[in-house]
Amino acid sequence: MNRVKSESLMQRALKVIPGGVNSPVRAFKGVGGTPIFFESSNGPYMTDVDGNQFIDYVGSWGPLIHGHCFPETLNGIKKQAGYSLGFGAPTELEIKIAELIVERVPSIDLVRMVNSGTEATMTAIRLARGFTGRDKIVKFEGCYHGHSDSLLVKAGSGVLTLGLPDSPGVPTDLAKHTLNSKFNDIEKITELFHLHGDDIAAVIVEPIAGNMGCIPAEAKFLETLKLLTQKFGSLLIFDEVMTGFRVGFHSAQGLYNILPDLTTLGKVIGGGLPVGAVGGSKEVMNRLAPSGDIYQAGTLSGNPLTIIAGISVIESLTPQSYEDLKEKTDYLVTGLTKAAHVSNVPVTINVVCGMFSLFFTDQNKISDYQLASECNVKKYTNFFHGMLEEGVYFAPSAFEAAFISTTHGEIEIEKTIEAANKVMPRI
Ligand code: PLP
């Protein structure tokens, strides 16, 4: 496969952009080689600058649940751009998206739109600290919640891929307020609460982790978090930036039937444009400025292009959309598993609705960061490059989730399984 133009663009990019990319995982550091520069996309396909076409399982890292260039989104954006790109003043569209989110996400009464998942989790943490009057927060190893200072401690994906346990520039004085615990470990978090419970403002968790690969929390673990936070007067934050509107009609909290105090959203609710949101009960959310004393703001928050894009996607998702996504993903995962087993490649594939991850390992259950990080990254790397050569684009990191869109049909899924059958014997 010829990728001459991508190679040359990377050389040019390196001269003016740190590492040549605007977000670290894009640089292919986790898998080696040169990142592919893309030019256009449609449905499940992306075309690079050299004219190669790929079936896409990254979906812009999650937002594109309807694939690339979803017609309702494009039409909405075009129409809105003809009216205005933004006013920095309220619009009816913002009420509409808030109403949709409140309707669908069981724990949300009020919601504030922001511009990224990072902003959403940063705001949720500030809100929890302000609301409880406490400083400490708890996160879990391998969960990624964006790159704000308090949360860049033992985070997944980019940080895992690059092998950075932490980041310089995060003040120790701040990091000391972030307590780490082990994902899916009930004993550890119970112990932590018995030691520090009265100082803990919030526990933040990805209910289905997607940043150490796809690792669903066990129901009992989330139930324990709910009980402990209630008992000790802390807030429970579900970071649903990745899972929100992705894994079910009522998001992950609907699947588990557990209501957090605060929920962060992003990705799908922006239809592919930059977005984030934080929502929760009236009591907590009304502490945000201007109704309350906890400050938060944003020049472009709730901008009409993002909001119209988000509305177009949310409105088009029905409970049936998720049934269909689940069926397709299960079919693909069965095919990939068979392809691996036929070639004697040990693999465990975690899957929830349209989200899945391949872990190359002998372990038949991957339930936390430790187990994920012990998987065979070399095999993933070989799988990734092999599939790329066959025209299938998976995430350039062993620690990311793959996503299926509603536009991935039988043809694309069969082609992917066929490609895996060719690639597995070689990895
Ligand atoms: N939270 C989770 C669970 C995420 O997966 C991500 C990004 O991948 C974020 C937060 C940060 O979102 P953003 O990249 O939009 O800042």
Pocket test residue of 23, 144, 265 for ligand 1, highest count of atoms within 8 A of CB: 144
Compute the distance from residue 231 Cα to the ligand 1 centre, in Å.
Answer: 29
pLDDT of the residue at 302: 98
Compute the distance from residue 150 Cα to the ligand 1 centre, in Å.
Answer: 14
Q: Per DSSP, what are the bridge partners of residue 111? A: 279
Q: With b meaning 16 or more CB within 10 Å and e meaning fewer, what string describes 94-116?
A: bebbbebbeebbebbebbbbbbb
At 213-229, the pLDDT tens digits run 999 999 999 999 999 99
Three-state secondary-structure class, residue 427: coil
Q: Per DSSP, what are the bridge partners of residue 238? A: 205, 263
- 239 labelled catalytic: yes
At 299-348, the pLDDT tens digits run 999 999 999 999 999 999 999 999 999 999 999 999 999 999 999 999 99
- 267 labelled catalytic: yes
Torsion angle in degrees (nearest 10) through CA of 417, 419, 424, 425: 120
151, 145 in Cβ contact below 8 A? yes
Q: How far apart are the first and last CA of the chain?
A: 18
- 185 labelled catalytic: no
Catalytic residue among 239, 328, 369, 379: 239
The first and second tokens of residue 27, run together, are: 């640089």
Parts of the chain with a pLDDT under 70 = 154-166
Q: Per DSSP, what are the bridge partners of residue 239? A: 264
pLDDT of the residue at 158: 54
Closest by Cα among 41, 47, 84, 77 to 313: 77
**Other beta carbons less than 10 A from residue 230's beta carbon:** 12
pLDDT of the residue at 163: 43
Query: Measured from the CA of 118, which atom of ligand 1 is nearest?
Result: 16
Say how far apart CA 43 and CA 70 lie, in whole Å. Answer: 7
Compute the distance from residue 153 Cα to the ligand 1 centre, in Å.
Answer: 14
Q: Which protein residue has the closest C-alpha to ligand 1 atom 5?
A: 242
Three-state secondary-structure class, residue 415: helix
Compute the distance from residue 147 Cα to the ligand 1 centre, in Å.
Answer: 8
- Which residues surround ligand 1 with Cβ inside 6 Å? 61, 116-118, 121, 144-146, 206, 210-211, 239, 241-242, 266, 276
The first and second tokens of residue 206, run together, are: 């990805």
By CB neighbour count within 10 A (0-12 exposed, 13-18 middle, 19+ buried), where does 78 fall? exposed
Tell me the helices (H) and strands (E) count for the chain, helix number first. Answer: 15, 16
pLDDT of the residue at 166: 63
Pocket test residue of 183, 206, 242, 245 for ligand 1, highest count of atoms within 8 A of CB: 242
Q: Which helix (H) or strand (E) holds 267?
A: none
pLDDT of the residue at 154: 66
Q: Which protein residue has the closest C-alpha to ligand 1 atom 10?
A: 145
The first and second tokens of residue 282, run together, are: 């009236």
Closest by Cα among 6, 123, 58 to 404: 58
Q: Does the global pTM surpass 0.85?
A: yes
